[in-house]
Amino acid sequence: MPSMEAPPQAAAQDRDSDYKLMKKAVDEAYRAVDSGDGGPFGAVIVRDGAVLVSCHNLVLKNTDPSAHAEVTAIRQACKRLGKLDLSDCEIYSSCEPCAMCLGLICASKIKKVVYGAKAEAAVAAGFDASVPDAFVEYYRKSGIEIRQVEGEAARIAEKVFEKAWEIPDEAMRRRRGGEWFEKAKGMVKCSRFCCLWN
């Protein structure tokens, strides 16, 4: 029986593509923090091998706890295409999507999710982004392909959390006011039930 594995050249091209798309998602995550728009999360939706939309977390900018990077990207992609069915699209997320984002990915019929950092990396940095095992199992059964990128692409995604609070301190204090920033920072570290910043 012939091997189902991709030829080495095709596998290398997939890794290169993964890296470029994850780098774009990670750049969006830094943009979210730099601008004070939200937490360090970014997402890119791809259709027919081309980037359709590139978005970041807008929770703070929009005062909307649902404005996660993946949600924002899906909203923009649906609007751009004029349809709700994104079954011909893939999503690249800088971090493993939370339960809410996975739910919307399923509702929009996206069949492939590629993420950079594991949810544990976000949790270790003070963000409540864990996904219960029951949700993971449910979405695996739904037929959605969910996988983490490999190598350097995963490392650059994890680095976002190392700098998450170094980058925005002064910028966010100037844009939002010092008292607001400290309160928001505390909310992230205390939140237990809502992935407010993912």
Looking at 36-167, list the stretches that DSSP marks H as alpha helix, in order from N- to C-terminal side: 59-62, 69-81, 99-107, 119-124, 133-141, 152-163
Q: Which two tokens stand for residue 22?
A: 């994850």
148 neighbors 156 (Cβ within 8 angstroms): no
What positions carry a catalytic annotation?
70
Is-contact 148 88, C-beta < 8 A? no
Pairing of strands 42-47, 112-117: unpaired
Beta strands in the chain (DSSP E): 42-47, 50-56, 89-95, 112-117, 145-148
Distance between CA atoms of residues 20 and 13, nearest Å: 11
Q: 148 - beta bridge partners?
A: 115
Ramachandran quadrant class, 42 (left: phi over 0; alpha: psi -120 to 50; beta: rest): beta
